[in-house]
Structure 1
Amino acid sequence: MSESAHTPTPNASQVSAGHLLAFIGPCLPFAALGLPLAVILSEYYVSEIGLNLGVVGLVFMSVRLVDIFVDPIVGWAMDKTRTRFGRFKLWMAICLPILFVSTGFIFLAPTGVSPLYLWVWLLVIYIGFSIATLSQASWGAVLSSDYNERTKVFAWWQMANIVGIIAVLLIPVIVQSVFHESYRLAVQYMGIFIMVLLPVMIGLALWIVPEKLSDTPAHNVRISDYFRMLKRPNVVRVLLADLWLGLAPGIMGALFFFYFMQTKGLSREQCSISMFLYFVAGLVGAPLWTWASKKYNKHKTLIISALIFAGIYALLGFLPANNFPLAAFLVFLAGIPYAASLLLTRALMADIGDEVLAESGQDHKGALMSILSATTKLGYAFSVLTMSALAVLGFDNKAAQNSPEALMWVQVFFVGLPVIFLLLGAWAMKSYDLTPERFAQIQAKLKQQGLAPNDPAHSTGS
């Protein structure tokens, strides 16, 4: 592979440290919200609020399935948005009041609320979360047009997400272990923490970070445009990889406490510490996979990380009971490859967005990121469905002792399914062909057409 393909272009493609830090700031409240949505709240509404396990699983799955259709609408709206304030920055501002209010209703819910209460406010919070994550990912895609710099942006984005996750995970540890308060109060403090960070971090990003505007005019985005994107082989490969690679950690998150508490004899506190270590490992993994993507390119790195993740994850099936140190160590190791998929799939889709722009003259980054977000959510929606499936198969998380058959199904779902999905994710990327060399040609073509988005004269912000 030629060295020139990996050398950053000497132009405005470099993102300054100040802009990068302000850009990733909203990741802290977004990730602090995303983790409970994926892992904690479903179990919390069963054990603390008092809703039925099967009902909660269906509520979370149905809301996530509805939310999937929100993403194309938001992507359509973002692709049509042209304002002096910015294109994606405007949508970042819109998400703030939606997330602030719905976070309060979800995290501070009183005992005995109905499934309808959970469904309505869960839908609102997911709509706000969709706007937040899509606007930030799309904004990140236009911060730089350089192949490696774009990976760096999303690597820092992923590390900030992990910091947000670690911060929110520390709250129950501190509240329960240091102050000896209840788990319910710990979850409520999570919500308050998110509500404090949201206006601060979003405000700083909007104030400090410029948005490099597209020179393409706002175009009429049609449903057929989405289907046209889905006809592109590389788009399909990235979407399939994102779906399979999202299912694996989604199932892990949904069943984490059930698996380790019911089948391996760990306490809730030990589970919380293990999950904390899992995300700490992501801080190690993100720069590692960024370095690897520069050496081997992005899609090969994604394949390697998925195979390593599958190998380490399979070892969890052989974990002996009541061995917290070994469990924590294996969970930590699994967190290193976990960090790769989100940052690399988004960097790859941003590259495809430039390819589409060079071919059609139309900027479809919002649409592409919305499709990618939809597959991620589809994976997590079906991940939560495993909770309802376990309830049907006889598993009861409140039982002092479940039957051997029920516990067997917990192990099959928790270990077996993710390993299969990780292998499928690696397989999906084997024919991806947007290489760094092709990407350099695309950028040259965009400059010739006057469509390169990294001109500092076309920026909004401070």
Structure 2
Amino acid sequence: MTDAAAPEIPPASGRTFAWWQLSAYALPGIPLAALLLPLYVTLPTYYAEDLGVGLTAVGAVLLLARLWDVVTDPLIGVLSDRTPGRLGRRKPWMLAGLPLAVLSVWFLFTPRAFVADGLVGWPHLLLWTVLLYTGGTMIMLPYNAWAAEMTDDYHERSRVAAAREVAIVVGTVGAMAGPALLSLERTTIMAGFAWGLTILLPIGVIACVFALPDDARARVAGSSHRFSWSVITGNRPFRKLIVAYFLNGIAYGLPATLFLLYVEHVLQAAAWAWPLLGVYFLCAVAGVPIWLRLSRRFGKHRVWMAAMGMAAATFWIAVLLGPGDIWWFLLVCVLTGLPLGGELALPPSMQADVIDLDTLRSGRRRSGLFFAAWGVATKVPLALAVGIAFPALALAGFDAEAARQSAGALFALAALYALLPCAIKLLSIWLLRGYPIDAAEQERIKRRLADGGPDETRPGDRAPLSQAAGAH
């Protein structure tokens, strides 16, 4: 089933970028990543304890705000696909989301500067969290979708995605470094984040918007929301990719949720937590060039499978460690941090290839809609990880406030932290078997797009293109 309209203009064939252009594209990733740390780590405690809103109210509000993303991600994805204009489809949304995000940061991170103490309750938290998530989605979703449209080169897409993911890791490490190195009150930390984001986010977004091309001539996608989702769910490579990515997200969400508890209670080395996490992320940055080079020789999906395999083969060792095993765990951080670089850079690049296949079949470039689904598949596993880990620990008798834990509770913590993620990664690897879009197949898709798309009724068309997309 194809769209009756003529295909839109595809991305510039074989376009490559200079280092300064990749740097400009990556720049917004630093403040966007830095924004997540206070939202997930500092903000809940700040509102629950310092502002007296309460743990239950804060947890319920943040859950509702996260569910709001499930609504706004597809909506903004579809609208950005349909946005005409001289600036292109993605840039207007990034610029429009910028003031909303910055304003929300100030009201959310420094509420006492705007609202009397007695009025800073859960309605204030809900309103400005929802507005911040909306502004962030208006920036982040078109930002990710734009990367899929900059070039149709199979390997250049990996460079673009890698530049963005390295910037995100740098932003995460930078956001951790300040609170870790400086003993500051939470109020001061939140104000510092507000000032930093107010300066860095506009610089990053504006530099990115004006340094890189956004093909304004591309035809605006006009298919209905319902039809678009049917095309996406009928796309076999997309289904394999996003299910594997979703599961791998849970495999990373579990250790992220339990890391501090593991270091404090299993290793009994709470002071080492931030340095160990820093080593992990720095190794991820160091590993990116290695995985990109390997992907040029062996293909993206095979190298992503190898990266997940390396992580699974080494991370399980953490379940064997105990009090004082810092140096062994440092080795685990290095051996699992290196494959993280490949796991961050390669899946978004593969997503761009899947979008080409949809464009070939439908005649529309719907990158925003695909990356909306990608956004949901990124955010929901983090919530599921918390929903899996904390109830399971409670059932095992783990009590974070207790001075001592039972042997069974500590094993449950170590198993949830290290063993379960490895098992999930192995399942993701198994699901990626037979992934059909490699460099040769993507080149065929690109040539068909340049020729105006395939006539699926014409004898002699090779099967993989139609078979790879699945039946609608």
TM-score band (shorter)? 0.7 to 0.9
Correspondence 1:190 to 2:207: no
Q: How do 1:251-290 residues align onto structure 2 when only pairs under 5 Å count?
A: 251-267=254-270, 269-290=271-292
Aligned mate of 2:244, from 231, 241, 244:
241
The separation in 2 between residues aligned to 1:184 and 1:400, in whole angstroms, is 28
Contact 1:265 1:322 (C-alpha < 8 Å) held by counterparts: yes
Q: What residue in structure 2 maps to residue 161 of structure 1?
A: 168
State the shift of 1:11 in Å.
5.8
Contact 1:71 1:371 (C-alpha < 8 Å) held by counterparts: yes
Q: What residue in structure 2 maps to residue 152 of structure 1?
A: 159
Correspondence 1:75 to 2:77: yes
Contact 2:253 2:382 (C-alpha < 8 Å) held by counterparts: yes
Distance 1:138 1:164, change over 3 A: same
Distance 1:245 1:22, change over 3 A: same
In structure 1, the gaps of 5 or more residues are 1-8, 452-462
Q: What residue in structure 2 maps to residue 138 of structure 1?
A: 145
Determine which structure has more spread, i.e. the larger CA radius of gyration.
2
Contact 2:314 2:335 (C-alpha < 8 Å) held by counterparts: yes
Secondary structure of the 1:185 match is helix
Distance 1:109 1:327, change over 3 A: farther
Contact 1:237 1:432 (C-alpha < 8 Å) held by counterparts: yes
Q: What residue in structure 2 maps to residue 203 of structure 1?
A: 206
Contact 2:27 2:208 (C-alpha < 8 Å) held by counterparts: yes
With structure 1 as the length reference, what TM-score do the two structures score?
0.86
Moved more, 97-106 or 383-392: 383-392
Secondary structure of the 1:337 match is helix
Distance 1:431 1:325, change over 3 A: same
Contact 2:30 2:167 (C-alpha < 8 Å) held by counterparts: yes
Q: What residue in structure 1 maps to residue 352 of structure 2?
A: 350
Letter aligned with residue 248 of structure 2: L
Moved more, 185-194 or 62-71: 185-194
State the shift of 1:105 in Å.
3.8
Letter aligned with residue 361 of structure 2: E
Correspondence 1:441 to 2:444: yes
Correspondence 1:216 to 2:219: yes
The separation in 2 between residues aligned to 1:442 and 1:375, in whole angstroms, is 25
Contact 1:13 1:143 (C-alpha < 8 Å) held by counterparts: yes
Q: What residue in structure 1 maps to residue 35 of structure 2?
A: 33
Distance 1:11 1:373, change over 3 A: closer
The separation in 2 between residues aligned to 1:164 and 1:99, in whole angstroms, is 17
The separation in 1 between residues aligned to 2:392 and 2:382, in whole angstroms, is 16
Describe the superposition over 1:40-98 as per-residue Cα deviations: whole angstroms up to 9, x where unpaired.
55566667666666665555444323312321111111111111122101111122122
Q: What residue in structure 1 maps to residue 463 of structure 2?
A: none
Q: What residue in structure 1 maps to residue 178 of structure 2?
A: 171
Q: How do 1:246-395 residues align onto structure 2 when only pairs under 5 Å count?
A: 246-267=249-270, 269-386=271-388, 388-389=390-391, 392-393=394-395, 394-395=397-398
Moved more, 70-79 or 182-191: 182-191
In structure 2, the gaps of 5 or more residues are 1-10, 455-472
Q: What residue in structure 2 maps to residue 65 of structure 1?
A: 67
The separation in 2 between residues aligned to 1:43 and 1:426, in whole angstroms, is 37
The separation in 2 between residues aligned to 1:128 and 1:141, in whole angstroms, is 21
The separation in 1 between residues aligned to 2:14 and 2:426, in whole angstroms, is 38
Aligned mate of 1:122, from 129, 132, 138:
129
Describe the superposition over 1:386-411 as per-residue Cα deviations: whole angstroms up to 9, x where unpaired.
46525753544344334544444332
Q: What residue in structure 1 maps to residue 470 of structure 2?
A: none
Describe the superposition over 1:299-331 as per-residue Cα deviations: whole angstroms up to 9, x where unpaired.
111111111111222111122212333323322
With structure 2 as the length reference, what TM-score do the two structures score?
0.84
The separation in 2 between residues aligned to 1:346 and 1:371, in whole angstroms, is 12
Correspondence 1:397 to 2:404: no
Q: What residue in structure 2 maps to residue 97 of structure 1?
A: 99
Q: What residue in structure 2 maps to residue 410 of structure 1?
A: 413
The separation in 2 between residues aligned to 1:249 and 1:40, in whole angstroms, is 20
Secondary structure of the 1:212 match is coil
Letter aligned with residue 312 of structure 1: T
Distance 1:359 1:228, change over 3 A: closer
Secondary structure of the 1:400 match is coil
Distance 1:270 1:13, change over 3 A: same
The separation in 2 between residues aligned to 1:298 and 1:353, in whole angstroms, is 15
Aligned identity (percent) is: 26
The separation in 1 between residues aligned to 2:401 and 2:108, in whole angstroms, is 22
The separation in 1 between residues aligned to 2:404 and 2:191, in whole angstroms, is 29
The separation in 2 between residues aligned to 1:203 and 1:38, in whole angstroms, is 26
Moved more, 192-201 or 277-286: 192-201
Contact 1:103 1:125 (C-alpha < 8 Å) held by counterparts: yes
Letter aligned with residue 121 of structure 1: W
Contact 1:158 1:286 (C-alpha < 8 Å) held by counterparts: no
